[in-house]
Amino acid sequence: MNIKLEQFKELIDKGLSLDLIYVLQKISEGVIIKQEKEYFKVNNIVYTLERKGYITHENIITLEGKELLDSLKTTKIKTKRFPKRDEEFEQWWKTYPGTTEFVWKGRRFAGSRAIRIKKEECRSKFEKILDEGILGEDMVKALECEITQKKEESLKRNENKLNYMQNTLTYLNQRTFEPYIELVKENIVFSSTTNSVDI
């Protein structure tokens, strides 16, 4: 079985080691794994596979076990969705301006382009950023901070500063959110009611 590095990482994330996969493969081939006292480690592996639902108590591979082995023969292992991550991404996505046109404090600013693009690519990138330990709520707060800053600057300079905002995918790839996360953490917030910075 030729396991790719990405698949190996996913196995680790699921709490599965290569010795578990080996034993599961042997069980799927009809090999009877003896559970004897001197084979404590092997017994432990068999017990783990049973506990995770990949084999039955009688050492018969389950449908879930077959799907796992099949996924290793093809491309990616089926991974669980994280509903909270989906919610955080959707909140971030809705917060991101659709276009550079906006109305702020009674003033209309003409826009020139759409900047909310490539949703699924953005979702994948967003999840990778969360994997680094960055919080979804911090991503949303950072974005809100930047948008408010740009709108306030637009009023002050009489020029649409959202026209300089990157599209969603570029924003994530270039990690534009990072300085704004720091501003939010330091309680430096660009007020939506004044032209000042609140500290």
pLDDT per position as a tens digit, 11-54: 777 777 888 888 888 888 888 776 655 567 788 888 888 878 88
pLDDT per position as a tens digit, 118-175: 999 999 999 888 888 888 899 999 999 999 999 999 999 999 999 999 999 999 999 9
What residue type is 25 in one-letter code?
A: Q
Helix (H/G/I), strand (E/B), else coil: 25: helix
Same domain, 102 and 146: yes
Same domain, 97 and 140: yes
Query: How many beta carbons lie within 10 A of that of residue 61, not counting itself?
Result: 20
> pTM of the predicted model, to two decimals?
0.54
CA 50 – CA 43 distance, rounded (Å): 11
pLDDT per position as a tens digit, 63-73: 888 888 888 87
Helix (H/G/I), strand (E/B), else coil: 162: helix
**Number of domains comprising the chain:** 2
Is 174 within a domain?
yes
Helix (H/G/I), strand (E/B), else coil: 190: strand
* Cα 129–Cα 135–Cα 136 angle in degrees, nearest 5: 80
Q: Bigger pLDDT: 51 or 190?
A: 51
Same domain, 48 and 90: no
Ramachandran class of 121: left when φ > 0, alpha when ψ lies in -120 to 50, beta otherwise: alpha
Same domain, 62 and 127: no
Q: Bigger pLDDT: 69 or 89?
A: 89
Q: Which of 50, 73, 96 is the last residue of a domain?
A: 73
Domain residues for the domain of 38 are: 5-73
Q: Which of 44, 73, 102 is the last residue of a domain?
A: 73
Same domain, 96 and 172: yes
What residue type is 175 in one-letter code?
A: R
